[in-house]
Amino acid sequence: MKKYSKSLKYINNYWKKITFYHPKDEKLSIGLPHPFVAPNAEKFKKVQFYWDSYFIILGLIEAQKISLAKGMVDNLIYLFKRFGRIPSGSDFPCLVISQIPFLTSMILEIFYITKNKKWLRKTSIVAESELKNYWMNKEHLVYRNLSRYCDKFLSHEISEHESGWDCTSRFSGKCLDYLPVDLNCCLYKYEKDLSEIYEILNNRKKKNYYLKASEKRKKTIIELMWNEKKGFFFDYNWKLKRQSNFYSLAGFFPLWVKIVTPSQAEKMRENLKKFEQKGGLANTQKHNLFKKFRQWDYPNGWPNLQWIVIKGLLNYKFENDAKRIAKKWLDMVEKVFLNTKKFWEKYDVVKCDVGKEGRYPTQSGFGWTNALFLKIAKELKFI
């Protein structure tokens, strides 16, 4: 029997259940012009989420569902044109925040397959506008040309939701005071991606502009967030002018965007032991967490962050570490699936069980879990 065959069959059959199409606004739901994959068919049905879309698209591409993947990017483009931002999800309450930005990553994933320069040019205009008019507006851009998460009400709690980490002990309840390492790495990649896009489009001026901007951001990220003694990256409290000392998987984003030296990467690799459990990687350190459990804290591990770390390790040729973590996660997801007949949005990677609930009951389904199970299994040649 093919390895993970039951899980793969479940994933293949589940795409239809979480693919929705509703082009008109309906109550709280924002109408979208193209079909899309939602996280599940229960709590999150009929909603396309921003950062979920990137990880779902990685799986859709592996499943040869290119048209559906492209349509999801076009939906995000539509949302930006309509509202002046890409909301965290396609319902009206989500309009107060966006979500950690992966738009250029999605655009390039699609372009590498379609080679459609006309589409690339059209989407790049929106990407530029999102970067300049949202992530680098006066509310987000607060210190040394780096950005923070920020909602329209300037609320620590709602701003934390913009990170996607809803909720976590990572920001000590004061999200607005931090320059997050994951956000600024994503913005670095955004600028690098735009430089690549404009090279493809033969616009040398813009190519060089974004390349220079990315190098400037990289330098500042390393200066403020790299801790040589600890061999790791931390969020930076711009109000107190000091690094956080809180370990989280966000600290591995510099590996994913490839801004570290080989020696820094080796030091970061040594920090894997702070997170690695029987079922993969826990999101955060074990100690100094809020008493009231936050669902993005230890012992939970979320599929999207498993991928960020695994891909980051592969970027620096740490194949053994990447494969070890990937196998732990795949085996755990399959074990829980065989017990529950479902995939889940997050997992307790210590107990190798369904994730511990936080803001809401742990959801089954699940869009990015299905997608990344397929992506990781294929990328690391487990199937």
pLDDT digits (tens, 9 = 90+) for 180-194: 999 999 999 999 999
Task: Give the C-alpha distances (Å, rounded to integers) separating 79 from 28, 31, 147.
Answer: 15, 9, 22
Task: Give the C-alpha distances (Å, rounded to integers) separating 354 from 7, 22, 145, 349.
Answer: 16, 31, 40, 9
**Quick check: 217 pLDDT over 60?**
yes
Q: Where are the domains of the chain?
A: 275-383
pLDDT band at 2 (very low <50, low <70, confident <90, very high): confident
What is the average per-residue pLDDT within 33-53? 95
- Over pLDDT 90: what percentage of the chain? 97
Give the predicted TM-score (pTM) of the model.
Answer: 0.97
What is the average per-residue pLDDT within 128-155? 97
Write down the catalytic residue from 91, 166, 235, 334: 166
What is the average per-residue pLDDT within 193-202? 98
CA distance 305 to 200: 30
Could you tell me how many residues make up the chain? 383
Write down the catalytic residue from 91, 160, 276, 345: 345
Active site includes 270? Answer: no
CA 343, 346, 352, 358 torsion-angle sign: negative
Active site includes 223? Answer: no
**Quick check: 1 pLDDT over 70?**
no
